Structure 1
């Protein structure tokens, strides 16, 4: 009795391989990318910075004029000229600040307009496999919220940092003219606070990047639900989809809260630094005045410079915070520019 041989096994149909992922582009330093966005507007930004510096210069001269007013009152001399000069400096500084604010805001809107145009152009032309792989809500959030962060960093942030640094340097020079010893006391306090800020500021960038990813997740969840609204309602899945979107919102809330804590800490440190410097100068300077080594008018002028430092230090801190937030969003925008598009 012969046995029938087993039929040959059917050949396995090869499975289609997953499309190869495009190679990751070489990483460009985020700060260089940010400066690239600002470069087409460098002329207006430079003019804006010059206006800011002119307003700061008007503020820098005011304590010296105030010292002359006090000396004139103590010596019995006329003070009408210095008082008029002081009033003119106040008005000039206010006018320059208003003009600078308008130019800066206009440039800021132009920057974000170009960023959004470029993003929309690429997103509409993305290849279908890339669109299938990316949640639409996340892509949309890069055009809306991420571009706004880059907008602030590339214009206002850069101007505020430059103004803060140059104004602080100018104040330091004039404070040294008034009294070198008190300048050393002020510098010691500010340097100690600056070292703490160096550790805190990079954490703002990380927190903002996480927050923006979470905002994209919220958009993706809502886009998925609204895009299949009939199916969701037919299956009574409103509760489940609401819970998913709520989880994404909770994640965005926690990530945003982490960034807000670091920003608040930086603001507290900047405020404390000025107050600590004022108290230190008041203690040391008061002792010098009591011993006859320092005139009271010079101490008052120096204290006015310490108060003046609050503005450029606040500008520097706010600008650095904006830069860190913008650098956290730059990476997400640059990802879009490296996604494959159709011809």
Structure 2
């Protein structure tokens, strides 16, 4: 079994386990504040349509009992036609209003979910597959919409139709009615177990569909890796496993339906035969008129047909309960309140970490152990050490993606947790190793995340300082060039320079960088390093260093191994006193010096932009 298959099976078992509560569904729908007048009008029209349908058989009885050409009056025909037209109009308008109500409910729910997904903490995304989350947003909300817009009205109309029909039939002929009702326990004995089986199959199919969506999202988002690794056959087997699971569930569902349909037909035919036979005897004896027998048969249909609607309602309700469980689990998950706390106005202050400790799970092995360091304002601190030592985790703690399990991080002597996330992160510029690019234009990516209007001059100046204008001007559409999904139309160096331009335009006081120049070609590396030099000037900088020149020029170096700082100081100090740092510097920091790159040409003119003097390009 592949990892994907194990994950799919586990997700299916986990999702199928809980038994839901329909009250949670009601609460979830009511929290969207559906339009009461829309619901009231739709319900009234639906009830009117149902009540009219109860009158039609009785009206038919009178026509049959007094049927002759001479007895037919024009007003009777007109009344019958008007009745059918009004019923059709009332039913059609009711269906439209309920469908609209369902669409509005699901739209509000999706809006609420979308806002929630954007404020969920990073640990949520660490522990949940993206495809599963996407399925919650699309498939599960669609299940709720189907119940509200399609099945609720059918359920209540069916109840009204059944109760009304039974009451009328009891008044017409209670003996035949009791004979007819005797078939209900017999049919229920067969249909109820089948309904439960259908429910379990439906829920498993829903969960399997969500898992398959997760696989699709994962594979298609990394299709280049799949092709480069010749993994098409492997992923084809994984996908086929999910497809076969869905096929198996679909076949099981078909088998159950193959029983339900004939059973209902058998009950219907049996009731018709009994009612026609017994009713014919009573007609011949004069205890029942021919019109009453016809009405009896019509009312029979108005009892049996709603049974299907009610069964479908309860099946869909159980699906919705399962969907509600998953949606509520997201809505109740911990979220970030980005506005809670004081506003940080000046981040050009010393940042201190005291006994900083972190573990990804409460009972898991710690990643960081008692870190103590100070980042001086306007100075560059390089973080080096073996892979897996906790360097990226340290960045995540400073960015406040995670909360420390012990110790504190302070700025200007105050805990950073006392400041709002929005104001804290607005003071930080983060240039990760894998420069994230969104689908859109180059201009969209440079301006991404800014909540103000950005002029063309500002964008061009930021690109200029990041040495991105050199390749942007060579593109036919310049800054309006579409970069493709995740920036696939750009090279690694180009994506990195756009990421730097974005940070420059943000004009942060704190800069965190995970240098990625080691993965670039020599020409791109020169451009990117020059851009990084521009970006770092005058800012409190923390950088995971991959270049020897960055380490040598740093004001402070932190050497981290196995989650602990085993050395700190300047390059010369550590080179002389720290054996592992000396070995690390000699063996792993072997990227060419700036001197090998030569000077880069600057454009003849530099557009004006209100950036700090420290951000001037050499």
For normalisation by structure 1, the TM-score amounts to: 0.83
Residue of structure 1 in register with 2:144 after alignment: 150
Residue of structure 2 in register with 1:117 after alignment: 111
* CA distance in structure 2 between the partners assigned to 1:113 and 1:295 by the alignment: 54
Q: What displacement does 1:259 show?
A: 4.0
Assess, with a 3 A threshold, how the Cα gap between structure 1 residues 145 and 217 changes in structure 2: closer, same or farther: same
For residues 265-280 of structure 1, what are the structure 2 equivalents within 5 Å?
265-280=259-274
Q: Any gaps of 5 or more consecutive residues in structure 2? A: 1-17, 338-618
For residues 122-141 of structure 1, what are the structure 2 equivalents within 5 Å?
122-141=116-135
For normalisation by structure 2, the TM-score amounts to: 0.48
* CA distance in structure 1 between the partners assigned to 2:54 and 2:185 by the alignment: 21
Deviates more, 1:49-58 or 1:304-313: 304-313
Q: What displacement does 1:292 show?
A: 2.9
Residue of structure 2 in register with 1:212 after alignment: 206
Of 166, 172, 178, 1:178 maps to 172
Q: What displacement does 1:98 show?
A: 0.9
Residue of structure 2 in register with 1:35 after alignment: 26
User: Which structure's CA Rg is the greater one?
Assistant: 2
Preserved CA contact (<8 Å) 1:204 1:262: yes
Higher relative contact order (CA 8 A, sep 6+): 1
Matched residue SS, 1:73: coil
Give the structure with the higher percent strand.
2
Assess, with a 3 A threshold, how the Cα gap between structure 1 residues 226 and 299 changes in structure 2: closer, same or farther: closer
* CA distance in structure 2 between the partners assigned to 1:111 and 1:229 by the alignment: 36
* CA distance in structure 2 between the partners assigned to 1:107 and 1:285 by the alignment: 44
Of 290, 302, 320, 2:314 maps to 320
Residue of structure 2 in register with 1:339 after alignment: 333
Give the structure with the higher percent helix.
1
Instruction: Confirm or deny that 1:193 pairs with 2:187.
Output: yes
Of 152, 156, 161, 1:162 maps to 156
* CA distance in structure 2 between the partners assigned to 1:256 and 1:46 by the alignment: 37
Residue of structure 2 in register with 1:96 after alignment: 90
Deviation string, structure 1 residues 82-130 (Cα, Å, up to 9, x no partner): 3332222111111111111110110111111122112222222222222
Q: Any gaps of 5 or more consecutive residues in structure 1? A: 1-26
Matched residue SS, 1:222: helix
Deviates more, 1:41-50 or 1:100-109: 41-50
Question: What root-mean-square deviation, in Å, do the aligned CA atoms of Structure 1 and Structure 2 show?
Answer: 2.4
State the aligned residue count. 317
* CA distance in structure 1 between the partners assigned to 2:81 and 2:304 by the alignment: 21
Residue of structure 2 in register with 1:303 after alignment: 297
